[in-house]
Structure 1
């Protein structure tokens, strides 16, 4: 099994209860990535469901999750023929860290959309014209070593103290261990970009408070194109909207989150 597969694995220990071991490699410093945590929760929700895919995940991040053992509680609220919904909680040391409402369903990988909007513009440059992961401290390298991301240089001016003034970041995304694009890597991809507020002059850690993401299609193999932007930064809060497109030019995931800005530790 790949590193990502092992890192997101869950074990059923009783009805509605799962055990997991959270992997320190999917975080920055001591904070685990929210997309990674949603992938873990999604696996438990799908295991408790008659359906194959986490179609909608609305997650509230209450506390910072730490590497190590954790418990996932799944309370199925409805199980229908086309969709099932469950409240899913991530718990460590008897404290809820993430509370999510996850709706599962089954997508047909061969289906074609009845209608689709145009891809985002501008398009991402070819991968070999993009830049590598931003420089990070050694203690924060875990996540940077677990994913292969190549960024549109136009959106990375903040790295050199020259933020563009436009809240946007664009990148190619793959798991470094070769794990294929699927529902769980999509959960990671929607929260993998550096905060778009960095291009507005923000600095430091930007903790996500709430994130909702939708799986729209089963992705084709290959790198994913990830586009992030925002509409408003105000009063220490900013939003971030992300679209993920696969190699077939299909929208496969989309998300919106609300986050705090301006924390340096």
Structure 2
């Protein structure tokens, strides 16, 4: 069976340039006219992993700096692998798209390390971050069925099934809690199971946490860093986003993801602009 997320992250080498790969965002991952930042990060990180080689299948620690909004349509990613070590390869990937006259426009610059999470030793005797206190899936509210009017035609929301914790959904009723926290359950609608590539998208899938502060609207990401801690087990993911500081028209958003076994599989932090 073919899955939509696999299609959007599929890349092919460009003839005559082994460091550049080509792909296409399509139209299914848009919020308004822009591609979701997590999807763009996943595509660029996938290019870095492919360029590094089969020994490095997982994006373990990557940071995306967002230069211009990504749009639907073709893309290329220029990669530069600086080092291939025993467990990690490190380098950069620059995602570009043509403008109206064909000039390449840089969209996202990704820097970081890729490796093999399956080859890392288990550490079972250290501190752990337990799953968030989240009601059962059936007791949460579907974001698809209860989307705000401004997102009625959002292609992105049709790609996944998200169930939001009612306790963190007061902002949708005009009653934000002002705690700066949103959490819920997440899975892709077509049944694709999670992997480390999908985690890069999932950390940016919840509504901006500023909604719980009464600040609704698009929150453009300036930079997003993601740390994959383990390969996720099949099933629903638990997502929790929080912010503790807002100033100068910017805020940080910290994300954590647990898999269906309660294992912490990803952490992320992004700096974004406050919705205007």
| Alignment TM-score > 0.5, same fold | yes
1:97 to 107, 110, 117: 107
Q: TM-score, normalised by structure 2?
A: 0.91
CA contact (8 A) 2:160 2:188 kept: yes
Indicate the residue corresponding to 2:223 in structure 1: 210
In structure 2, C-alpha distance between the alignment counterparts of 1:136 and 1:189, rounded to whole Å: 23
User: Deviation digits for residues 202-235 of structure 1, max 9, x if unmatched?
Assistant: 1211000000001110110001000110110112
* Counterpart contact for 2:194–2:234, Cα < 8 Å: yes
Q: Give yes or no for contact 1:61–1:208 (8 Å, CA) kept in 2.
A: yes
C-alpha separation between the residues in 1 aligned to 2:42 and 2:198?
A: 7
Q: What's the CA shift for 1:46?
A: 1.2
For the pair 1:227 / 2:228, whether they are aligned, the reply is no
**Quick one: which of 15, 19, 22 aligns to 1:19?**
22
Report the Cα distance in structure 1 between the residues aligned to 2:153 and 2:181, rounded to whole angstroms.
22
Structure 1 length-normalised TM: 0.95
Instruction: Give, in angstroms, the shift of residue 102 of structure 1.
Output: 2.5
SS in 2 for 1:16: strand
Are 1:72 and 2:86 counterparts?
Answer: no
Question: Of the candidates 207, 211, 227, which is equivalent to residue 198 of structure 1?
Answer: 211
Q: What SS class does the counterpart of residue 52 from structure 2 fall into?
A: coil
| RMSD of equivalent CA atoms | 1.5
Answer yes or no: is the 8 Å Cα contact 2:59–2:115 preserved in 1: yes
Partner in structure 2 of residue 4 of structure 1? 5
Unaligned runs of 5+ in 2: 99-103
- The alpha-carbon distance between structure 1 residues 200 and 35, as it changes in their structure 2 partners (threshold 3 A), is same
Q: Distance in 2 between matches of 1:181 and 1:125?
A: 21
- Extract unaligned runs of 5+ from structure 1: none
Which of 236, 243, 249 is equivalent to 2:262?
Answer: 249
* Alpha-carbon offset, residue 113 of structure 1: 3.0
1:189 aligns with 2:202: yes
Is the aligned partner of 1:124 residue 2:139? no
What per-residue deviation string (whole Å, max 9, x for no partner) do you get for residues 147-174 of structure 1? 1100001111111111111100001110
